[in-house]
Amino acid sequence: MAAPAISPIRLGLIGTGLAVEKLHWPALRTLTDRYTVTAFTDSSAEQGRRFAAYSGVDQALAATDRAALLARDDVDAVLISVPIPHLYEVARDALAAGKDVLCEKPAGVDAEQAAAFLALEAEHPDRTFMVGENFFYRDDLRYARELVDAGAIGRLHLMAWRHAGQVVPREGSFTSTPWRHRPRYRGGVHLDAGVHHIAQIRLLCGEIARVHGAVQTANSTIDAPSDLTLTLVFSGGAIGNYTASYPEIPVPPEPNEMRLYGTEGVLVLAGSESERRVTRSGPDATTHTTVFRGSDNGYRAELVDFADAVRFGARPVGSVAQSVANTMVVQRAFDSAERAAALALDPVSGAGPVPLWRPRGSAGLFDGLPGQRISSSASFAA
């Protein structure tokens, strides 16, 4: 006898701005077996109407405010996509209302609120509570992690990553939102965008034991440091350097490559969202490159993991503790910059090494997932 069908999770959206339009809705619309949107609300009525228009979700499902949405019996879980300073309060209210929660990152505006996120999760052990981190679910990063785990480059001893790009307000982009110009969260762009980079570093290199940071301000359009450089020491013994720069003037094209140096090879992670590349070189100077196209930066897999956690009680990879661990690296980096000293990182309770996500019930990394993966080999020997 066939197993009974599992009804889709009845999802309410709190906030329908750019994050939903550009990131979450393109994934949600492909997951109709797992989700059905039964309510939405936004502080901007115009934004709510825009969501209804492009998504096809009935405007009649719009709730007047989040309290009205949370009071509805036809909402099992909520996706929270509101400005960073309001994430905690909305998540708190949603959990108190008995809803499962997938909340946008980061987990807290500062170290104190990061601790409050952990406490909030502990107060609601019967609920699924994720603070989303899509980088944990990116196909190229999961593939690279599998290579590292398999010893493809030997023992990792050095990580090097420089990321630079102009950041100025542009209409229709994430930089256009006023709350990002004058952030009410410690770290500014290095918390907002930087936690993604920290997630990538932790996924591939392991836990960070010590940081030594410095910051610089060279962008008048954002009320926060534009530059951050970190020297990192990992628990496994490797060392690394991470530099992020977001100036207001245009900069020449940057490779923005992450390089992992091992005793038996090197991994290079490069490319754009539309075409990401993972290149592994070996001691014989041969290279093996895998190109990833048609993936969505991990948002679909993140939503799949959340649905599995709600339905089956599994612990999601993108747990609150993992998000707090990302957040605390940024906060400790700013502590280090202010004190001009290298500082240790305390382990985050419940975090530990980031697990490698695979589709539920699958031994493979990509089973049942969309996207194209093309591999090739070459040599850089003289």
Exposure class string for 85-94: b at 16+ Cβ within 10 A, else e: ebbbebbbbb
* 121/98 Cα distance (integer angstroms): 12
The CATH fold assigned to 9-133 is: Rossmann fold (3.40.50)
Exposure class string for 155-169: b at 16+ Cβ within 10 A, else e: ebbebebbbbeebbe
CATH of domain 136-299+358-379: 3.30.360.10
Instruction: Report the SS3 class of residue 265.
Output: strand
Domain spans in the chain, listed from the N-terminal domain onward: 9-133, 136-299+358-379
pLDDT at residue 1 in the model: 46
- Other CB atoms within 10 Å distance of the CB of residue 110: 18
Query: pLDDT tens for residues 338-349?
Result: 999 999 999 999
Query: pLDDT tens for residues 96-126?
Result: 999 999 999 999 999 999 999 999 999 999 9
**pLDDT mean over 284-302:** 95
Query: Of 286, 267, 273, 285, nearest to 144 (Cα)?
Result: 267
Q: Does the pLDDT at position 295 exceed 90?
A: no
Amino acid identity, position 41? T
Mean of the per-residue pLDDT values of the chain: 95
- pTM exceeding the 0.85 threshold for the entire prediction: yes
Helix (H) or strand (E) holding 192: helix 189-192
**Alpha carbon of 260 to those of 97, 136, 195: distances in Å?**
45, 17, 19
pLDDT at residue 4 in the model: 58
